[in-house]
Amino acid sequence: MNVLLLVLGLVVGLTAGAVVGFLVFKSRIGTRQAEARVEAHSIVEDANRAAETKRREAELEAKEAALRVKDEAEAEVRARRAEIARVEERLDNRDTALDRREGELDERRCRLSEAEEALAGREEELRAREAEHLRALEEISGLTREEAEQRLFAGLETELEDRMDRLVLERTLEAEGRADSEARRLISTTMERLASDLTSESTVKAIALPSDDMKGRVIGREGRNIRAFEAATGVDVIIDDTPETVVISCFDPVRREVARVSMERLVQDGRIHPGRIEQIISKARKDVEKEMKAAGRQALYDAKVSGGMHGDLVRILGALKYRTSYGQNVLAHSVEVANLCGMMAQELGANVTVARRAALLHDVGKAIDHEVDGTHALIGGRFAKKSGESDDVVRAISAHHHEIEMETVEDVLVATADAVSAARPGARRETTELYLERLRSLEDIALNHRGVDKAYAIQAGREIRVMVQPSEVDDRIAAKLAYDISKQIESDLEYPGQIKVTVIRESRVSEVAR
């Protein structure tokens, strides 16, 4: 029983303690909530005050910006008003000027009207006088105006007919006198579109040296270098008093070309001794051989020669590149003859292939005529036959200088084309008389122009220097003078290549010191 009472007492005590603890805890929570509400209210009031402050600052800034915009707009308005005022002032001034000009134009119109009326009156007066003069002339001559015009025109027609008859007769006689020469000139002039570059026929080549000291190195000690060079190339080396120049002489154009190339390479290299000379000459000989073959193949292409050709014949054909005849390059001449012969063969219906091939090879003998006895036509024919060319080609080559009898039309065409190529203007070198006459004609053409003081033909007639008087010819007239002289030379003279006209204008002032 006591135990039960003890347990009940403990339970009641614990329950009372729990109730008291709960009441105490609840009172503390209420206190804290009140404090939180007070603190939240304080924070809200602070936030409201800060927001109000920022709002007022924003309103102030907006008012200031609005004031600035207003000031700027007012300034712009004032500027535009000032500009409008200036424009209005200019327009007023322009209106005033236009009014003044309109008044002047009115005055001019009045004056012109008066002048027109005066001219109309004078025109009427002149017409009346002209009519009186015509009536007086008709009374004196006894002819009306129409009859006088008919008689005058009849006389003029008779006179013009007589003059035209004499002119036609003179021109006919002149044309008959010049017909043959003019025909030859026209035919040869048409061949000029196949004109080749001109070179001077020569058996020597001049090699430029960098200095005269190089001559001693070319000669070598006791002449061993020059002897080795001459022995290896088969040419003569001439070293004289000509400054900075060595001359190579040889009748064989290929050997002369090999020697030229070798000498230029030795001079450029600077190492000149017998061993080096043999090496350079050997390499130069191979290079010249390659160049000869390339030139031969190019000639076949330029002459439109189809079909194969023996290598030795191509090489010998290319060797003609270094040969000239009367100032005309033989290889270029051969190509020209081939083209001419091909054209003529096509027009006549002959064998174009044989004509072109024979014409291209017609002078091939000139490349070896210094090594074999006989004429170059026969030598070329034999070499072509040895190289496998057909009998028609061989016969045309051999017969182009009439060494053998011509049998086919191709033989005649090759000889004809050869003659035309050699005879066309500018193909071969001029005679001394023609050369001097051309120089005199050049100077005379220049001297016949106004303001020219002196004229000199130089550069073998390829240039003319014209000295003018500076007081009569200024820079503008000098340019026109050069053009006029060049055009007159083109129309009045026949010449190979081109001629340069140089007009020189200078002022010289001199005094004598006594």
| Alpha carbons 50 and 374: distance in angstroms, whole number | 130
Q: Which residue's structure tokens are 């021109």?
A: 171
The answer to whether 192 and 425 are in contact (CB under 8 A) is yes
Non-local CB neighbours of 289 within 8 Å, separated by 6+ positions: 315
Q: Write down the pLDDT at residue 203.
A: 61
How do residues 328-387 score in pLDDT, each as one tens digit? 788 888 888 888 888 888 888 888 888 888 888 888 888 876 666 778 888 888 888 888
The per-residue pLDDT for 326 is: 66
For domain 323-429, the CATH class is mainly alpha
Show the tokens assigned to 500.
């340069």
Say what the pLDDT of residue 21 is.
Answer: 73
Kindly report the pTM of this predicted structure.
0.45
Is the domain covering 432-505 a CATH 3.40.50.720 domain? Answer: no
3-state secondary structure 290-359: HHHHHHHHHHHHHCCCCCCCCHHHHHHHHHHHHCEECCEEHHHHHHHHHHHHHHHHHHHCCCHHHHHHHH
Strands (DSSP E) found in 175-244: 204-208, 236-238
Alpha-carbon separation of residue 30 from 25, 36, 167, 315 (angstroms):
9, 10, 149, 130
Burial of 368 (0-12, 13-18, 19+ CB in 10 A): middle
Structure tokens at 46: 């602070």
Q: Side chain identity at 397, as an amino acid letter?
A: I
| Domain parsing of the chain, residue ranges | 1-129, 154-194, 198-302, 323-429, 432-505
The token pair at 41 is: 């209210």
Q: What is the pLDDT of residues 209-226, one digit of tens each?
A: 888 788 888 888 888 888
CATH number of 198-302: 3.30.1370.10
The CA distance from 473 to 112, in Å, is 45
Structure confidence at residue 188 (pLDDT): 53
pLDDT confidence of residue 200? 36
Q: Which residues of the chain have pLDDT under 70?
A: 1-3, 24, 30, 141, 145, 152, 165, 172, 175-204, 326-327, 369-372, 423-436, 459-460, 496-497, 508
Interatomic CA distance for residues 512 and 514, integer angstroms: 6
Amino acid symbol at 442: L
pLDDT confidence of residue 193: 43
Q: Is 58 exposed, middle or buried (0-12, 13-18, 19+ CB in 10 A)?
A: exposed
